[in-house]
Structure 1
Amino acid sequence: MAMVRAAEVVGVAANLLYTWMYLKGMVPEAYLGAALGSVALMWACSKRGLLAESGLHLFYLLMAGFGAWVATSWTPWGSVSWVWHVGSIALGCLAWGALVPVLKARGSSLPVVDGFTTVFSILATWWMIQFDALNWWYWLVIDLVSVWLYAKRGMPWGALLFAVYSLMALDGCFEAIEWF
């Protein structure tokens, strides 16, 4: 388990660096931290039985490459109508409902919460890539739930990561807050 803990710590440090760099506009360089953190946490989550979270970190690894490309070659949507977000949340609920039985059948630990954080993290990542400011609200909810999920699975460094992410999301939600 020492290797799992070491991977967790490396993943946490790399992901904190990535998020801080993203908040500061240091893109595409920030995506190197995202890639390293994704690989480390993908492995650690798989060892702790968080199957959907492990898959989510594979998605993040792919998104790190996509994000680096987007930073130089993509025209994001920017802010969109609230109708898009209602549709996004409805789609997320449908996907979450479909994923939970699959996770249960595969023996995932905490499949309902694992599925929730995974599905809505994918949606939040989409809105983040679009540079829609509402992405921070998605992250705030996801990160607060993830604190509990990682703590429950014996991953205190991961729980700490999501506690800090929650503060970073608050920073992103409100221009008056400049903690990072």
Structure 2
Amino acid sequence: MTDFVQTISEQVMATSWLEWSAVGLAVAYLVLAAHQSLWCWLAAAISCSIYTYLMWHAQLYMETVLQVTYVLLAGYGWWQWRYGAGRAAVQKVAELSLAWHLRWLAILVLVAGAVALALERYTTADAVWLDSYTTVFSLFATWLLTRKQFANWWYWLVIDAVYVYLYASKGFVITGALYFVYLILVFYAMWQWQTARTEQQQCSSSG
């Protein structure tokens, strides 16, 4: 136990200020998203820009692509929440059917598998299967968030659990811990969104 604690302490001390900055901004992003604040997308854009650099140097190429795409999605999310479909409060957004999700799950599994096979064959990327599946499903979940679909949080529960292992195994202990915190914050976000929806429904009923 003492050796384990010492190892964790050494890894924490070795964590770069860049990773610490990315972690702080990533936590801010999720907290702000839980409160449906437009500023969550700015925090996301800066955090993901930092992670782009870190993931490239760790040879997690699909994670690098993911982080770059996240920066673009942050811009898209800001626009959607400011001018597009995300302008509506979550309680006013029509939820998608189970059949819709099942169709997309089948598509995403195939796409992620194809990406993993290509990376395994043509690159030196590490952890290609976990990397590919978390990347593809993370993009999908983020897109759902830009549309303020409540179901995005269910996807994140699974994705974040996998990320805890993936990042910790690559030596990003603080980032792995971040995704453990994310698991807790996802429940908080679900509670916040559900509370907002319930309050709006009660106001509509009384009105």
Q: Same fold (TM over 0.5)?
A: yes
How many angstroms does 1:129 deviate by?
1.5
Measured at CA, do residues 146 and 72 of structure 1 come closer, stay the same or move farther in structure 2, by a change above 3 Å?
same
Structure 2 match to 1:121: 138
2:73 to 63, 68, 82: 63
Structure number with greater CO (CA < 8 Å, separation at least 6) is 2
Stretch moving more, 74-83 or 48-57: 74-83
Q: Distance in 1 between matches of 2:70 and 2:95?
A: 22
Say yes or no: does 1:26 pair with 2:43.
no
Q: Distance in 2 between matches of 1:9 and 1:137?
A: 27
Q: Distance in 2 between matches of 1:3 and 1:63?
A: 31
Stretch moving more, 142-151 or 63-72: 63-72
Q: Distance in 1 between matches of 2:153 and 2:68?
A: 21
Q: Distance in 1 between matches of 2:189 and 2:31?
A: 11
Stretch moving more, 18-27 or 74-83: 74-83
Would you say the 8 A contact 1:170–1:177 is kept in 2?
no
1:91 to 85, 94, 107: 107
User: In the alignment, residue 168 of structure 1 is paired with which amino acid?
Assistant: L
TM-score (norm 1): 0.90
Measured at CA, do residues 94 and 25 of structure 1 come closer, stay the same or move farther in structure 2, by a change above 3 Å?
same
Structure 2 match to 1:144: 161
Percentage of matched positions with identical amino acids: 28
Would you say the 8 A contact 1:88–1:123 is kept in 2?
no
Task: Say which one has the larger Rg.
Answer: 2
Query: Structure 2: where are the runs of 5+ without partners?
Result: 1-12, 87-92, 196-207
User: In the alignment, residue 164 of structure 1 is paired with which amino acid?
Assistant: V
Would you say the 8 A contact 1:12–1:37 is kept in 2?
yes
- Cα displacement string for residues 122-179 of structure 1 (whole angstroms, at most 9, x for unaligned residues): 111121122111111100000000000000000011101111111112223456999x
Structure 1 match to 2:172: 155
Q: How many corresponding residue pairs? A: 176
Please give the secondary structure, in 1, of the residue aligned with 2:64.
Answer: helix
Q: Distance in 2 between matches of 1:69 and 1:59?
A: 15
Q: Distance in 2 between matches of 1:33 and 1:44?
A: 17
Measured at CA, do residues 84 and 111 of structure 1 come closer, stay the same or move farther in structure 2, by a change above 3 Å?
same
Q: Over the residues paired in the alignment, what is the CA RMSD in angstroms?
A: 2.2
Structure 1 match to 2:202: none
Structure 2 match to 1:164: 181
Would you say the 8 A contact 2:34–2:193 is kept in 1?
no
- Cα displacement string for residues 58-102 of structure 1 (whole angstroms, at most 9, x for unaligned residues): 011001111111111112564111111111111110111111022
Would you say the 8 A contact 2:35–2:189 is kept in 1?
no
Q: Distance in 1 between matches of 2:53 and 2:108?
A: 25
Greater helix share, 1 or 2?
2
Q: Distance in 1 between matches of 2:191 and 2:24?
A: 24
